[in-house]
Amino acid sequence: MKSNIIGYGSFFHKTDLKKLPAVSNSFLNGHQLFYAGRYAMKYVFDKLIQNHEIVHIWLPQYYCPFVKEWLETAYSNLKYYDIDPFDPYAQIDYSTFSTKDIVLANNYWGLKKNTIPTRARPLIVEDHSHGWLSPGCIESEADLCIASLRKTVPLPLGGIAWKPLKSSLQLSLPQLKSLPNAHEMEVAWKLVDTAMALKANCTTEKDKTQFLEDYGKGEQLLRTTQEIVPLNPDHEKVMAQALCKDYNAYKLKNWDTMQTLLKGNDAFKVLPKAQGTPFGLLLAFKKEDDLKRLKQHLISKTIYPAELWPKNNIHHDYKFLLNIHIDFRYGKADIAYIASAINEWNN
């Protein structure tokens, strides 16, 4: 149940995960943990470049603008390909790429299963940041996979790279060497961890201002730090303990409840559950203005959705996405409140 001060959504508060049952991690055929998904991605790209002749690295055109900008400072051979991010069944035509390319395939919103061709193909890395522990993640046949963990897991920071069980790639993922001194990611972890703890016990607007400030400082460090650093052993332990819990059971239950309460609206479509586990309540829009107006309406009701993602120009009917959090933080009464707020919006 929400607090009137913190509202619904945004980043996680500090959470006791003992109540969540564990799920199997047997799909991880060797893995490494990082402070963020972008570090896991860069680690994987660098390892592939060291061991293969690589011409281009291909990212989907519709992708996180901050990560795109961050990667563009690291690689001069990035290119972009088009795929509909709001069609769970859209597949990548790998025949259009060279066998000397790396293609990043995104498990959009936890709804997709990527089909890997058996013929000659590029190296394929899958991003499961919005589909951690979804069917597409667990059943992956890609060469390597990565994910930003803190979108699903209540961690201050966190990312993972792993080799799927069905991968035939002859490449190990060696552990990073420890550093003798503290680094910026330890500072970022402490800032976000402090923000999460303050959010968990927030009772005043002053507290809210403070946790948002701490969180923002931690985010800024993440966006400006290129170096991939090993985890502090204490941070690694926290990540490992939280890694494989049944977060998705709550999303699926809340998603089903939401479908019984939501009314139709011409301004958006609700993305279907399809083959996966929806990251949240996913509302796709044709018009950015409609998204902005619904977002502001929800904020006025202390519901804080995420726009995934701004600054993307794609040539499809639906171009914009608003995600409304329906994770383990929320029960039936919360879902009813969120549905009512959406239903009362008149576009």
Q: Could you tell me the CATH number of the domain that includes residue 151?
A: 3.40.640.10
User: Could you tell me if residue 90 is inside a domain?
Assistant: yes
Tell whether 9 is covered by a domain: no
SS3 content of the chain, % helix, strand, coil (to 5): 35, 15, 45
Answer whether residue 89 is part of any domain.
yes
Q: Do 42 and 135 share a domain, yes or no?
A: yes
Q: Based on the number of CB atoms within 10 Å of its own CB, is 106 exposed (0-12), middle (13-18) or buried (19 or more)?
A: buried
Provide the b/e sequence for 241-261 (b: ≥16 CB within 10 Å): ebbbbebbebbeebbebbeee
Q: How far is C-alpha 301 from the geometric centre of its chain's CA atoms?
A: 25
Which residues 6+ apart lie within 8 Å of 253 measured at CB?
none
pLDDT in the model for residue 202: 84
Task: Give the pLDDT of residue 19.
Answer: 84
d(CA 264, CA 118): 41
- Cα(102)–Cα(85) distance, integer angstroms: 19
SS3 29: strand
Q: Are residues 62 and 155 in the same domain?
A: yes
Last residue within a domain, chosen from 108, 129, 164: 164
What is the count of structural domains for the chain? 2
Nearest residue to 95 (alpha-carbon basis) of 124, 65, 136, 129: 124
Range of 122's domain? 23-164
Give, as one character, the DSSP assignment of residue 132.
T
Q: What is the pLDDT of residue 3?
A: 52
> Given 164, 197, 213, which residue is the final one in a domain?
164
Q: For the range 253-261, what are the long-range contacts, defined as Cβ-Cβ under 8 Å and sequence gap of 24 or more? A: 254/326, 254/327, 254/330, 254/335, 255/281, 255/326, 257/332, 257/335, 257/336, 258/326, 258/335, 258/338, 258/339, 261/335, 261/336, 261/339, 261/340, 261/343
Tell me if 225 is assigned to some domain.
Answer: no
**Mean pLDDT, contiguous 10-residue spans, the chain (347 residues):** 69 86 92 95 96 97 94 95 96 96 98 93 98 96 97 95 94 79 85 90 85 89 86 94 95 96 95 93 97 97 95 92 96 96 88
- Dmax (CA) for the chain in angstroms is 59
Angle formed at CA 81 by CA 272 and CA 311, multiple of 5 degrees: 70
Q: How many Cβ atoms sit within 10 Å of the Cβ of residue 178?
A: 10
CA distance linking residue 73 with residue 79, whole number of Å: 13
Domain presence at residue 234:
no
Indicate the helix (H) or strand (E) that contains 8.
Answer: strand 8-9
Q: Is residue 307 part of a domain?
A: yes
Whole-number pLDDT of residue 1:
42
Tokens of 140: 């992956």
146 and 45 within one domain: yes
| CATH code of the domain in which 328 resides | 3.90.1150.10
Query: 36 and 160, same structural domain?
Result: yes
Kindly give the pairing relationship between strand 159-164 and strand 268-270.
unpaired
Q: What is the pLDDT of residue 284?
A: 97
278 lies in the same domain as 155: no
What lies within 8 Å, CB to CB, of 238 at 6+ separation is: 155
Any domain includes 215: no
Same domain, 42 and 132: yes
| Structural element, H or E, at residue 126 | strand 123-127
Domain boundary among 118, 134, 164: 164
In a domain, 196, yes or no: no
DSSP H helices in the chain: 37-51, 65-72, 135-138, 184-200, 205-224, 233-242, 247-261, 288-300, 332-343
